[in-house]
Amino acid sequence: MDTKNLVALYESSSKHSNYQVLPSSLANLIPQENLTINSRYENERLAFLKENLDLSGKRILDVGGNTGFFSFESLEAGAKEVVYFEGNAAHSNFVRSAANLLDANVEVFNEYLDFETPLAVPPFDIVLLFNVIHHLGDDFGDKDANLEAAKLKMVDCVNYFRKHTQYLVLQMGYCWKGDRTKLLFESGTKREMLDFLEDALVSNWIIEKIGVAEVSDGKTAYHPLDETNIERSDSMGEFRNRPILILKSKEFSLRP
């Protein structure tokens, strides 16, 4: 496939289109001057990921992988294989075509993971679950669930992986289904979100690291949670107020 077709697939219209920057392996192959890219601080999140987890030789599952930034960058960091799930057909075709172009070891599943059907391809060393679970009832799951039931189901989505991976990297939004009128946490604070997740996940997961975005000299970077950065910073916008949690499975860690 030529790069013109890749560009067309990348820009194919959906609510999650243009959501990620291009991975470094494609940035020099695809002309970017005419691309519309709305970055969600991918490189900054990747830096936190690589600082805290060794990706070398690892088998990685990228859930809701969009246009594959974290899939391809994981391979660049030495991962041996990536399994990618994405329900958007254009995004999946983009990643499949890019993987063929790069001869990259990415297995593509064009489907939304339902977090109920047994995984066909476990186990994994690391699962990437970036900004997926708050879309429960929209992109996947029970569309008739109320808010409190949906929050419990989101926890179930995380626990679904407890037997299938050693580590899980979690980030979630504050607004259910991306609707700003449907707050998952009453005041929309990091403290509320983290209290909820810590209480809900303690039986199955150890929270190894929590990364929080900070801005210094106009640059964003993720730093360890502390008493200062736990406070919400409205000037950074909703997305950068979403913490990143690195979880270690208690159950998987006990496997022989």
* pLDDT at position 120: 79
* pLDDT at position 35: 77
Residue 68 lies in a domain: yes
Q: What is the CATH number of the domain that holds 57?
A: 3.40.50.150
Question: What one-character DSSP code corresponds to residue 105?
Answer: -
* pLDDT at position 25: 94
Domains identified in the chain, total number: 1
* pLDDT at position 255: 57
The pTM of this model reads: 0.94
**Helix H or strand E encompassing 35:** none
* pLDDT at position 96: 96
Beta bridge partners of 221: 214
Residues 25-62: pLDDT tens digits? 998 888 777 677 778 999 999 999 999 999 999 999 99
Pairing status of strand 244-249 against strand 165-171: antiparallel
Residue 14 lies in a domain: no
* pLDDT at position 178: 85
Strands of the 219-224 sheet, one edge to the other? 106-109, 81-85, 59-63, 124-130, 165-171, 244-249, 205-216, 219-224
Residue 75 lies in a domain: yes
* pLDDT at position 253: 62
* pLDDT at position 136: 92
Residue 34 lies in a domain: no
Residue 170 lies in a domain: yes
CA distance 188 to 175: 8
Range of the domain at 61: 40-254
Residue 127 lies in a domain: yes
Residue 220 lies in a domain: yes
Enumerate residue ranges in the chain where pLDDT < 70: 1-2, 13-18, 34, 253-256
Residue 109 lies in a domain: yes
* pLDDT at position 36: 76
What type of residue is 195? Answer: D
Residues 6+ apart with CB under 8 A from 82: 59, 60, 61, 62, 71, 72, 74, 75, 104, 105, 106, 107
